[in-house]
Structure 1
Amino acid sequence: MSSIDWIVLFGTLIFIVSYGVWKSKGSNSMDSYIRGGNDSKWWTIGLSIMATQASAITFLSTPGQAYTDGMRFIQFYFGLPLAMIIISVFFLPIYYKLKVYTAYEYLETRFDVKTRLLAAFIFLVQRGLAAGITIYAPAIILSSLLGWRLGYTTTIIGILVIIYTVSGGTKAVSQTQKQQMAVMMGGMIVAGLLVIYSLPDNVGFVDALHVAGKMGKLNVVNFEFDLSDRYNFWSGITGAVFLFLSYFGTDQSQVQRYLSGKSLSESRLGLMMNGLLKVPMQFVILFIGAMVFVFYQFNQPPVFFNDTIRTEMATSEKAAEFEKIESQYQQSFDDKRLVVDEFVSAIHEGDENQIDIKANSLNELQLKSEELRSKAKAVIATALPDAETNDKDYIFMNFVMNNLPVGIIGLLFAVIFSAAMSSTSSELNALGSTTTIDFYKRKLNQKGSDAHYTKSSKLFTLAWGILAIIFASYLSLFENLIQAVNLIGSLFYPIVLGIFIVAFFVKYVKGNAVFIAALISQGLIIYTHYLNVEGAAGLFTMGFLWYNAFGCLLVVFISCLIQFILGSSKKKEA
């Protein structure tokens, strides 16, 4: 990167950290540190909720997801507005009425302390893992792109977040997330405009849409019902609804965002803002990925998007074989470029017959290119056994590094760092609060002062930050980073949601029944995923988004069954 890019990058990061520390001066009580003093306006809450979910993974992985798989991932968010309405109607009033610091305090009131601690423990496990991923995900890619050691990138992200999160708590997180969202969305919109501007002079926006559409990248909605399909309309409005109910309704990293609101109405408006704007935001990011795909129909893409590994292959024992595949890939692109030019000409002439013919030819050549990319990955796996052969998460930033002007590159790197910081700060803030309120204060030290618990929360936040950095240093890449986060959530969230659903709506079920049901259901979800991974599920194979509905309903059904059995036993004894 140029010196201007470095100035833009570090200038942005230093400003955000300094602003967060400055705006949160005086957060020295439990109320101000954990609930931000309950003075947040609805737009601050809405932006904070969106920034918490919009991690660096969103901006690194989502464009690559669209590049390789089209825009069908948008269906994952179709159930979000419905989830926001349900949380606003049923969850929020109870949290405000009880004036809780964490969502899990309510569970002790409704059930017992062991159920509260179980839900809090599941949250700590799930969110602790996620905190490591949200640091690691951008760190491994940025370290490759910038030529830094992974440990340096991981540590820089972690330390920057720890500074203002430990210093100012919830208020610091909420205040910085407003600036981070402005950087993130501003940078992505600029990038999207530059992608379209970078297309050849004879290729307009409508032409780009035709190319993306005919090559299967604008596949926004699929109404076909298929349990094994991760992303379709039905999984989006069922399984994803349960995931969003779990995440926004019971995950302390999100609950803490809207518990800082001035009133119940402000918090509701903040949630609804998220429900209305999140889908368009994800659409824009996915669309940028689709436009990057179009750009590479007119400009030679690399056969493998991780430049660091491509450089290593040049000196490996498989260098000649890899170069041969690169040469074939170049020829395939040259053939495709001729056809895509003819396709655009047919569009300008309005010749529908030629449009269909050229579109079919384009897709055949694209399939050949993808086969060559698969061969290249196989060669890399043989020559560099420890190398990650999945390059989806490098696609967008590779485009940025090689095609965008000076200054914009630094801005886009600032987007990734800001996103990593925004989501990680919320997670560490929530982990520290939950550890303090649900475990330390509840079980270890019930007679401490307000100042003592505030200091404890800061220390626990610091400890979780250090653990997240350590965990991030020992991770390896999943198939796709954004899918990794959703998978981890889908394994743990449904159990906590099931506990809350029983608490809200099944009044006759008591603590022992729901506690046992939660343990059984968690085991069944993990076993189900094991069967799916091993290919042993047979007809019961399901995409992981369905775990959210399956696991939640398991908790409700099993808890009702156990309560019925326990109730019958007591009647017989009587």
Structure 2
Amino acid sequence: MSGIDWAILVLTLLSIVLYGTWKTRKNSNLEGYLKGNNSENWATIGLSIMATQASAITFLSTPGQAYEDGMGFIQIYFGLPLAMIIISVFFLPIYYRLKVYTAYQYLEQRFDVKVRSLTALLFLLSRGLSAGITIFAPAIILSTLLDWNLQLTCLVIGVLVIVYTVSGGSRAVSITQKWQMAVIMLGMFVAFYYVLDTLPNEVGIAEGVEIAGKMGKMEIVDLSVQSSENYTLWYGLLGGLFLSLSYFGTDQSQVQRYLGGKSLKASRMGLMMNGILKIPMQFFILFVGIMVFVSYQFNKPPIIFNESVTIEKAVQHEDLIAIETNYDAIHKLKQIELQAITKGEKSDYTQAQHLQAEQDSLRKEYKTKLQNLEPTYEKTDHDYIFLNFVLNYLPKGLIGLLLAMIFSAAMSSTAGELNALASTTTIDYYKKFWSKGDEDEKKDLKVSKLLTVGWGVLAIIVALTAGLFDNLIELVNILGSLFYGTILGVFLIAFFFKKIGGKPTFYGAIIAEIVVLIVHLLNVYEVIEISYLLYNLIGSALVILSAYLIQSIQKSNNN
């Protein structure tokens, strides 16, 4: 990285942190710290909701997902707009009427303290792990490609987030997220411009879409019903609906974003803004990855995108050199084919498709052999593709902007999570079981800040000890899906099944969570094949069914 890149990176990050800290320096009570004194307008709420969900993983992993597998990932968001409507109509009015700090307070009023505590605990488990992943994901990729120290990178991201989150609470998170989203989207549009700039003169967006389509990357909708396929229209509408309902309706990291709204109307409009803009935003991010794929049809692509120091030693092996030589030769042949097509000399893509399949096969073989030689190497390198392109093709200065984008995304998501974790621990555990009512507001505020620091330190520890999984954006969704279904099931009973009481719901939630974890283990060990998106449907349905059966048995015994 050049000096100007470092300057832009450091200046951007410090400006955001200092701005958030300064604007919220006067927070002196728990309501202001946890709910921002209900001062946020709908635009701030909408941007904050989007920023909390859009972690650095989104902007690093999603383009790579499109590069490897095409546009099908967009289907996971198809259920989101309907979820926003349901939450706005059924969830929000109850939260506002009861003036809750956390979503889980409502559950005690509807059921009992056991159900509230269990549901809050499930949230703390899922979000506590995810907070560490949102720090670790960008840190390991940045450290690998830029030869930075991994532990130091994790610490820098974690400490920056802790500083302004502890200082200003919910309000600091919301107002900094507006600027972070601005940096993020500016960075993505700049990257997109330079991706297009690497294409031949005769290849524009329309031609790029045609090439990507012929190479099998533009299949947006998959109508198949195979259970092992994660990204299909039906799983997106059904599984995506339940994932969105549980995440935006019951996950405190999202609920807290709109509980701080000026009014019920402002919160609804913020949610609707997310419902309208989220799919186009994700489509654009995936499309950037598609255009990177098209660019590498005309520019020489690396055979691997995760080019670490240890790998450099391994690639001296003669078998790997032979595979890479063959890979480059096939790329040149494919390049000639595509150039003839774009110049109108040919119209048939059959040969280019065949050559692409050969390249994919050689790349897979290369990574398998490389892993045998270097066991620490991770074969799946989706998450390195976009940043690798940025480092190789963007000019000085703009690399700093793109890295600032990645850090901003990591910070915005992690800040929202830490704020929510601290709020839930403060309200649902400390204030409920240890605090002496409302007698000492300053002490409660101090405890909440200390809990924010504690969760921040835990997130850093998770980040420092985590390992890289196949695909980071999938990992975050899987972590959520393991718990979200159960949490959603509890809330669905609370809202729509008024005759089911606390005890059946409590045991129904335990049964459902155990079953979801067993299903996941069977899925991991390939005993069964099922999309992780369906965990949300399975979990919520099992909570309702189990609670209903327990309630019926209870009534029968009483009679």
TM over 0.5: yes
In structure 2, the residue matched to 1:337 is 335
Query: Given residue 355 of structure 2, which amino acid in structure 1 is its aligned partner?
Result: L
Q: Does 1:565 align with 2:553?
A: yes
In structure 2, the residue matched to 1:193 is 193
How is 1:280-291 mapped onto 2 (pairs within 5 angstroms)?
280-291=280-291
Q: Aligned partners of 1:338 and 1:271: how far apart in 2?
A: 49
Q: Does 1:551 align with 2:539?
A: yes
- Report the secondary structure of 2:280's partner residue: helix
Q: Does 1:315 align with 2:313?
A: yes
Q: Aligned partners of 1:317 and 1:297: how far apart in 2?
A: 23
Q: Aligned partners of 2:434 and 2:363: how far apart in 1?
A: 56
Checking the alignment, whether the CA contact within 8 Å between 1:71 and 1:219 is kept in structure 2 is yes
In structure 2, the residue matched to 1:498 is 489
Q: Please give the per-residue CA displacement for 1:377-430, whole angstroms capped at 9, x wherever unaligned.
A: 112211111222221100000000001111111111011000000000000000
Q: Aligned partners of 2:315 and 2:274: how far apart in 1?
A: 51
Q: Does 1:453 align with 2:448?
A: no
Checking the alignment, whether the CA contact within 8 Å between 1:318 and 1:383 is kept in structure 2 is no
Query: Given residue 246 of structure 2, which amino acid in structure 1 is its aligned partner?
Result: S
Match of 2:468 among 477, 482, 491: 477
How is 1:47-446 mapped onto 2 (pairs within 5 angstroms)?
47-308=47-308, 311-316=309-314, 319-346=317-344, 354-355=346-347, 357=348, 359-446=349-436
Q: Aligned partners of 2:485 and 2:50: how far apart in 1?
A: 21
Query: Given residue 66 of structure 1, which amino acid in structure 2 is its aligned partner?
Result: A
- CA positional deviation for 1:345: 2.5
Checking the alignment, whether the CA contact within 8 Å between 2:311 and 2:377 is kept in structure 1 is no
Q: TM-score, normalised by structure 2?
A: 0.98
Checking the alignment, whether the CA contact within 8 Å between 1:30 and 1:450 is kept in structure 2 is yes
Q: Which stretch shifts more, 483-492 or 199-208?
A: 199-208
Q: Please give the per-residue CA displacement for 1:476-503, whole angstroms capped at 9, x wherever unaligned.
A: 1111000000001111000000000000
Checking the alignment, whether the CA contact within 8 Å between 2:314 and 2:370 is kept in structure 1 is no
- CA positional deviation for 1:155: 0.2
Q: Aligned partners of 1:436 and 1:174: how far apart in 2?
A: 19
Q: Aligned partners of 2:393 and 2:230: how far apart in 1?
A: 32
Q: Please give the per-residue CA displacement for 1:418-459, whole angstroms capped at 9, x wherever unaligned.
A: 000000000000001111110111012233511111111100
Q: Please give the per-residue CA displacement for 1:329-360, whole angstroms capped at 9, x wherever unaligned.
A: 111111111111122123xx7xxxx52x3x22
Q: Please give the per-residue CA displacement for 1:308-329, whole angstroms capped at 9, x wherever unaligned.
A: 1xx4334238622222221111
Distance 1:317 1:199, change over 3 A: closer
Uncovered stretches (5+) of structure 2, i.e. residues with no partner: none
- CA positional deviation for 1:67: 0.1
- CA positional deviation for 1:46: 0.2
- Report the secondary structure of 2:377's partner residue: coil
Uncovered stretches (5+) of structure 1, i.e. residues with no partner: none
Q: Aligned partners of 2:139 and 2:114: how far apart in 1?
A: 37
Q: Which stretch shifts more, 72-81 or 216-225?
A: 216-225
Checking the alignment, whether the CA contact within 8 Å between 2:29 and 2:441 is kept in structure 1 is yes
Q: Aligned partners of 1:496 and 1:319: how far apart in 2?
A: 51
Query: Given residue 140 of structure 2, which amino acid in structure 1 is its aligned partner?
Result: I
Count of residue correspondences: 558
- Report the secondary structure of 1:338's partner residue: helix
Q: Aligned partners of 2:369 and 2:6: how far apart in 1?
A: 35
Q: After the TM superposition, which parts of structure 1 deviate over 6 Å for at least 4 consecutive aligned residues?
A: none
Q: Aligned partners of 2:557 and 2:390: how far apart in 1?
A: 66
Q: Aligned partners of 1:552 and 1:150: how far apart in 2?
A: 38
Query: Given residue 493 of structure 2, which amino acid in structure 1 is its aligned partner?
Result: V
Query: Given residue 343 of structure 2, which amino acid in structure 1 is its aligned partner?
Result: S
Q: Please give the per-residue CA displacement for 1:288-324, whole angstroms capped at 9, x wherever unaligned.
A: 000000000000010000121xx43342386222222
Q: Aligned partners of 1:88 and 1:313: how far apart in 2?
A: 51
In structure 1, the residue matched to 2:502 is 511
Query: Given residue 18 of structure 1, which amino acid in structure 2 is its aligned partner?
Result: L
Q: CA RMSD in A?
A: 1.1
Q: Which stretch shifts more, 117-126 or 221-230?
A: 221-230
Checking the alignment, whether the CA contact within 8 Å between 1:317 and 1:383 is kept in structure 2 is no
Q: Aligned partners of 2:269 and 2:441: how far apart in 1?
A: 30
Query: Given residue 537 of structure 2, which amino acid in structure 1 is its aligned partner?
Result: A
Q: Please give the per-residue CA displacement for 1:146-176, whole angstroms capped at 9, x wherever unaligned.
A: 2111100000000000000000000000010
- Report the secondary structure of 1:249's partner residue: helix
Q: Aligned partners of 1:258 and 1:225: how far apart in 2?
A: 35
Q: Please give the per-residue CA displacement for 1:516-542, whole angstroms capped at 9, x wherever unaligned.
A: 0000000100111111111212xxx31
Q: Aligned partners of 1:316 and 1:549: how far apart in 2?
A: 45
Q: Aligned partners of 1:13 and 1:214: how far apart in 2?
A: 41
Q: Aligned partners of 1:427 and 1:317: how far apart in 2?
A: 40
Checking the alignment, whether the CA contact within 8 Å between 1:12 and 1:414 is kept in structure 2 is yes
- Report the secondary structure of 1:470's partner residue: helix
- Determine what percentage of the aligned residue pairs are the same residue: 54
Q: Aligned partners of 2:204 and 2:251: how far apart in 1?
A: 44
Q: TM-score, normalised by structure 1?
A: 0.96
- Report the secondary structure of 1:473's partner residue: helix
